[in-house]
């Protein structure tokens, strides 16, 4: 059995009411698409219409947001008085787009605001007191408008108020128990407000202010709203969904010079823009700026009207992103090497000098996704303080675990799935200890992985291009409305092969009842041998249409898979190239001469089945690696019958290859006997190899034949000298115990070496089993 990496949760299918079926039939929706919509809460005519056909009219009135009138009046007054206005943003994609939306709205009204995006490393997140002092005291700023930040900026805002400067906060982050002293706080979750949708991104709130300021919806800003909303991973439902849908349409039809240049360097066709290309190509490039340095070039790019400047900025931003990717890759490789040295840890805490602080959250996320365990990745600063980020799986609230040990930190904050922190270098080991101890005490099953929600169980014959294209029309997908995952059960995996650079990816087909479906599994080239050739595979993935030379074919983008029942893997004949990355498997050898791989944590050299069975049960082992030929077939059969072993890797090396040399022929025995009779006394201690070569008998077989002759009393061997026995008792060769043992050994070797894996599996268990490719 090969378990799934994720914990699969299949949605419970709800029966579709006739009224809803009628609605979806009018829309000509595929029945499975209708089922997905209903299961996800789209159940009324109004909800379906709003979902399928979003319009500007479905956006909420911005003046429903608390303090909006007060904020707009103050900004308009500042514009009339020609006051100096500062827009104070944030260093991520949401902050960059929020700043640009607010900047362009105020410029449309005739003012020329300044803007400032803090540096992650020198200014930190949110209102910075020293920055406020500089702009208020040196630049004569009289109105500050925050975008995508501000609700936690008590100190800086208090200073501004005492200096006679008004601050308008526009933000969407969680509200503190006590709000700062601001002139106005525009926030969808304001405790005294009642805005209909509370999950706007920072750019969504900025867009609402811009709409209220201008007295109309600034359509030209919808592209920025889509980018910031998608990049910030807020809920892609209700108003956010409408904003993103309209924004994507705007990107396809309008032209923002800077965005066009960024799309070019990212290799994204503007006409084919989607939430996926924004999430994986545009958002990361904008975020890279703030991760490595200054984020202001992002605002410059998005607001420029100069094509040459736009091209230069886009190329510079792309270069920063390439640098960011290289840094992430290098640190991730270092960290994963550390992980491999500690495979049994329940949580990973690693710290090192010179790791770039701006990417540690990404690295922690990669480690968590790869291992299914929480990860804390830290960089050691010159002052002995370590700073970094944590990421955690759904089953473990990393904030609570760290908060229980708050005394270890100099600074700390976060939520269920992520946290940021600073702590003295000497506390890192203690942090690792308390995390691992707490998780182990909780007895959480870390083998389960994070939950993967599955919309439907399908068969290959149900998947058509028409269905996939209709399903894709449900986009944009995102947080709280993810792209559907589908489960295919009891399928064969055929035509599997590793493809791409370094053979990193896996391509194949799934097959069931003569229907097939193409598959692609990225970053899984090494998993080819994991699949079964029988109908025992279960695969989960997303569906896409693969277009090639004008042809359209449905395709499964595999995300996870499992194989039920016992699996037998064929590693025979691999010799010293055996791929054995098994951290918790039991390595079995039956011959003392067998070399055991250095990475073997658990190893037994024994011929006693019960000893092996006891070890497997005590250590809860589920896979065994058989390094050499067992002394009997029954040993493995007993192990399978009495334990929960679900995977066997057959290496079964035979150093002496008895099954190839056989028992020796009649002619070979006659040759040897004749040689002994001719010389009577033979120095087998020093001359055995020369004699074997002379008689043209393989050396190991030659030694075996001598031992049989000695056992049967045909010769004596003392002090390395072999002497012929005169008139020995006549005995058949097969009466020798050595002869019988070799014959048995050869039969076992032939069974394990010459049979195909299905035959071996059937013999060991008495039934047909899944077999690795």
Whether 756 is in a domain gets the answer no
Confidence of residue 80 (pLDDT cuts 50, 70, 90): very high
The residue-averaged pLDDT of 560-570 equals 87
Same domain, 689 and 553: no
Q: Which residues contact 670 (CB under 8 A, 6 or more apart)?
A: none
**Digit-coded pLDDT (tens) for 452-489:** 999 999 999 999 999 999 998 899 999 899 999 999 99
Q: Please give the structure tokens belonging to residue 702.
A: 């030659």
Same domain, 105 and 246: yes
**Digit-coded pLDDT (tens) for 277-302:** 999 999 999 999 999 999 999 999 99
**Digit-coded pLDDT (tens) for 371-425:** 999 999 999 998 999 999 999 988 899 989 998 999 999 988 887 888 899 999 9
Q: Is 670 helix (H, G, I), strand (E, B) or coil?
A: helix
Q: Is 541 helix (H, G, I), strand (E, B) or coil?
A: strand
Same domain, 70 and 53: no
Same domain, 68 and 109: yes
CATH code assigned at 163? 3.90.1640.30
**Closest by CA position to 705, among listed 733, 732, 678, 730:** 733
The pLDDT of residue 318 is 97
Q: Please give the structure tokens belonging to residue 598.
A: 């250095």
Q: Count CB neighbours of 223 within 10 A.
A: 26
Q: Which residue has the higher pLDDT, 115 or 535?
A: 115
Q: Please give the structure tokens belonging to residue 599.
A: 């990475």
DSSP assignment of 8-33, as one string?
A: EEEPPPPPPPHHHHHHHHHTT--HHH
**What Rg, from alpha-carbon coordinates, does the chain have?**
35
Query: What is the residue whose two structure tokens read 């100099």?
Result: 410
**Digit-coded pLDDT (tens) for 324-350:** 999 999 999 999 999 988 888 999 999
**Closest by CA position to 277, among listed 200, 240, 338, 223:** 223
Quote the distance between the C-alpha of residue 139 and its chain's center.
47
Query: What is the residue whose two structure tokens read 């692609």?
Result: 520
The pLDDT of residue 770 is 47
The residue-averaged pLDDT of 497-517 equals 93
Same domain, 183 and 316: yes
Q: Please give the structure tokens belonging to residue 670.
A: 């006659």
Q: Please give the structure tokens belonging to residue 273.
A: 């823009």
Q: Which residues contact 756 (CB under 8 A, 6 or more apart)?
A: none
Determine contact, residues 682/714, Cβ cutoff 8 Å.
Answer: no
The edge-to-edge listing of strands for the beta sheet with 418-424 is 348-353, 375-380, 385-391, 418-424, 411-414
The residue-averaged pLDDT of 619-641 equals 91
CATH code assigned at 544? 2.40.50.460
DSSP assignment of 419-465, as one string?
A: EEEEEEGGGHHHHHHHHHHHHHHHT--TTS-SEEEE-EEE-GGG--H
Same domain, 412 and 511: no
Taking the C-alpha atoms of residue 447 and residue 586, their distance in angstroms, rounded to an integer, is 18
Helices (DSSP H) in 547-625: which residue ranges? 609-619
Percentage of the chain lying above the pLDDT 90 cut: 77
Q: Which of 525, 542, 563 is the last residue of a domain?
A: 563
The residue-averaged pLDDT of 151-178 equals 95
Taking the C-alpha atoms of residue 530 and residue 561, their distance in angstroms, rounded to an integer, is 10
pLDDT at 578 over 60: no
Same domain, 29 and 131: no
Omega before residue 476 within 30° of 0, cis: yes
Same domain, 157 and 246: yes
**Digit-coded pLDDT (tens) for 11-35:** 988 899 999 999 999 999 998 899 9
The pLDDT of residue 107 is 98
Same domain, 508 and 462: yes
Q: Sign of the C-alpha dihedral, residues 728, 732, 734, 737? A: negative
CATH code assigned at 362? 3.10.310.30
Whether 772 is in a domain gets the answer no
Q: Please give the structure tokens belonging to residue 591.
A: 């011959």
The pLDDT of residue 414 is 80
Q: Count CB neighbours of 227 within 10 A.
A: 31
pLDDT at 266 over 90: yes
The pLDDT of residue 444 is 81
Helices 699-711 and 666-679 meet at what angle, rounded to 10? Answer: 70
Question: What is the span of the domain harbouring residue 607?
Answer: 567-653
Range with the poorest average pLDDT among 288-292, 443-447, 652-656: 443-447
Confidence of residue 747 (pLDDT cuts 50, 70, 90): very high
Taking the C-alpha atoms of residue 748 and residue 306, their distance in angstroms, rounded to an integer, is 78
CATH code assigned at 729? 1.10.10
The pLDDT of residue 343 is 80
Confidence of residue 254 (pLDDT cuts 50, 70, 90): confident
Determine contact, residues 184/71, Cβ cutoff 8 Å.
Answer: yes
Same domain, 435 and 536: no
Q: Which residues pair with 169 in a beta bridge?
A: 146, 185
Confidence of residue 772 (pLDDT cuts 50, 70, 90): very low
The residue-averaged pLDDT of 69-92 equals 98
Percentage of the chain lying above the pLDDT 70 cut: 98
Same domain, 572 and 626: yes
DSSP state of 525: G
The pLDDT of residue 761 is 84
Q: Quick one: 254 exposed, middle or buried, by C-beta within 10 A (0-12, 13-18, 19+)?
A: middle
Whether 760 is in a domain gets the answer no
The pLDDT of residue 620 is 87
Domain count, the chain: 6
Whether 327 is in a domain gets the answer no
Q: How many helices and strands, by DSSP H and E, does the chain display?
A: 27, 27
Which of 471-475, 687-691, 753-757 ranks highest by mean pLDDT?
Answer: 687-691
Whether 195 is in a domain gets the answer yes
Same domain, 381 and 236: no
The pLDDT of residue 447 is 72
Helices 360-371 and 307-341 meet at what angle, rounded to 10? Answer: 50
Whether 513 is in a domain gets the answer yes
Q: Which of 563, 593, 618 is the last residue of a domain?
A: 563
In the 3-class helix/strand/coil scheme, how is 148-192 assigned residue by residue?
CCCCCCHHHHHHHHHCCCEEEEECCCCCCCCCCCCCEEECCCCCC
Range with the poorest average pLDDT among 220-224, 439-443, 597-601, 691-695: 597-601
Q: Which of 286, 320, 354 is the last residue of a domain?
A: 320
**Digit-coded pLDDT (tens) for 603-626:** 999 999 999 999 999 988 988 999
Whether 335 is in a domain gets the answer no
pLDDT at 588 over 70: yes
Q: Which helix (H) or strand (E) holds 313?
A: helix 307-341
The residue-averaged pLDDT of 636-643 equals 92
The pLDDT of residue 66 is 97
Range with the poorest average pLDDT among 255-264, 525-534, 636-645: 525-534
Whether 3 is in a domain gets the answer no
The pLDDT of residue 87 is 98
Helices (DSSP H) in 176-306: which residue ranges? 202-214, 222-231, 238-253, 257-266, 275-277, 283-292, 296-303
Average pLDDT, the chain: 92
Taking the C-alpha atoms of residue 215 and residue 218, their distance in angstroms, rounded to an integer, is 9
């Amino acid at each position: 059995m090969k378990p799934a990496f994720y914990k699969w949760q299949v949605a419970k299918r709800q029966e579709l009411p006739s009224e809803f079926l009628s609605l979806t039939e009018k829309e000509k929706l595929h029945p499975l698409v209708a089922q997905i919509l209903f299961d996800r809460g789209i159940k009324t005519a109004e909800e379906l219409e709003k979902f399928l056909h979003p319009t500007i009219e479905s956006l909420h009135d911005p003046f429903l947001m608390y303090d909006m009138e007060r904020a707009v009046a103050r900004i308009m007054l500042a514009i009339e008085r020609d006051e100096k206005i500062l827009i104070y943003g944030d260093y991520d994609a949401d902050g960059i787009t929020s700043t640009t939306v607010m900047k362009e709205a105020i410029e449309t009204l005739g003012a020329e605001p300044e803007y400032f995006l803090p540096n992650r490393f020198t200014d930190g997140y949110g209102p910075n007191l020293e920055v406020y002092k500089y702009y208020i005291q040196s630049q004569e700023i009289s109105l500050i408008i925050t975008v995508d930040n501000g609700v936690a900026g008590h100190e800086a805002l208090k200073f501004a108020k005492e200096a006679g400067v008004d601050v308008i906060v526009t933000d969407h982050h969680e509200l503190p128990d006590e709000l700062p002293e601001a002139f106005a706080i525009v926030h969808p979750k304001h405790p005294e407000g009642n805005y209909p949708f509370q999950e706007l991104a920072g750019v969504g709130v900025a867009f609402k202010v811009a709409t209220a300021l201008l007295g109309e919806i600034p359509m030209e800003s919808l592209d920025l709203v889509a980018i910031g909303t998608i990049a910030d991973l807020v809920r892609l439902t209700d108003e956010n969904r409408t904003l993103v849908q309209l924004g994507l349409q705007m990107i396809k039809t309008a032209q923002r010079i800077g965005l066009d240049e960024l799309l070019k360097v990212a290799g994204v066709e503007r006409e084919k823009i989607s939430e996926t290309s924004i999430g994986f190509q545009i958002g990361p490039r904008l975020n890279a700026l703030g991760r490595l340095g200054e984020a202001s070039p992002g605002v410059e790019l998005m607001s420029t009207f100069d094509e040459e400047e736009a091209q230069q900025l886009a190329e510079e931003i792309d270069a920063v992103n390439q640098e960011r990717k290289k840094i992430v890759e290098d640190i991730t490789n270092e960290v994963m090497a550390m992980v491999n040295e500690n495979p049994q840890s329940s949580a990973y805490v690693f710290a090192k000098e010179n790791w770039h602080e701006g990417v540690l959250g990404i690295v922690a996320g990669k480690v968590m996704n790869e291992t299914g365990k929480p990860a804390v990745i830290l960089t050691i600063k010159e002052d002995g303080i370590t700073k970094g980020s944590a990421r955690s799986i759904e089953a473990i609230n990393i904030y609570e675990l760290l908060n229980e040990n708050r005394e270890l930190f100099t600074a700390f904050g976060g939520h269920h799935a992520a946290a940021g922190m600073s702590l003295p270098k000497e506390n890192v080991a203690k942090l690792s200890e308390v995390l691992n101890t707490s998780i182990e005490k909780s007895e959480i099953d870390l083998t389960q992985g994070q939950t993967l929600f599955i919309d439907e169980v399908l068969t290959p014959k149900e998947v058509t291009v028409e269905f996939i294209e209709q399903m894709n029309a449900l986009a944009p997908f995102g947080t709280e409305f993810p792209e559907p995952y589908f489960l295919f059960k009891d399928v064969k995996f055929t035509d599997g092969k590793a493809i791409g650079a370094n053979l990193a990816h896996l391509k194949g087909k799934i097959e069931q009842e003569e229907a097939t479906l193409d598959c692609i599994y990225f970053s899984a080239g090494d998993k080819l041998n994991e699949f079964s050739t029988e109908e025992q595979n279960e695969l989960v993935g997303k569906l896409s249409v693969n277009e090639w030379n004008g042809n359209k074919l449905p395709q499964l983008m595999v995300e996870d898979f499992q194989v039920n029942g016992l699996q037998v893997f064929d590693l025979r004949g691999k010799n010293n190239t055996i791929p054995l990355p098994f951290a918790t498997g039991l390595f079995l050898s039956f011959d003392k001469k067998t070399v055991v791989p250095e990475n073997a944590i658990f190893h037994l050299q024994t011929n006693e089945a019960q000893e092996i069975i006891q070890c497997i049960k005590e250590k809860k082992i589920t896979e065994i690696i058989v390094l050499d030929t067992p002394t009997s077939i029954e040993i493995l059969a007993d192990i399978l019958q009495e334990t929960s072993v679900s995977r066997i890797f057959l290496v079964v090396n035979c150093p002496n290859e008895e099954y190839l040399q056989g028992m020796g022929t009649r002619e070979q025995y006659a040759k040897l006997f004749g040689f002994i009779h001719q010389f009577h006394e033979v120095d087998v201690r020093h001359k055995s190899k020369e004699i074997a070569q002379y008689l043209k008998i393989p050396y190991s077989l030659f030694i075996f034949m001598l031992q049989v002759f000695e056992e049967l009393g045909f010769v004596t061997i003392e002090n390395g000298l072999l002497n012929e026995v005169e008139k020995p008792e006549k005995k058949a060769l097969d009466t020798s115990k050595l002869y019988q043992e070799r014959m048995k050994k050869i039969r076992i070797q032939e069974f394990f070496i010459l049979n195909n894996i299905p035959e071996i599996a059937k013999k060991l268990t008495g039934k047909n089993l899944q077999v690795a490719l």
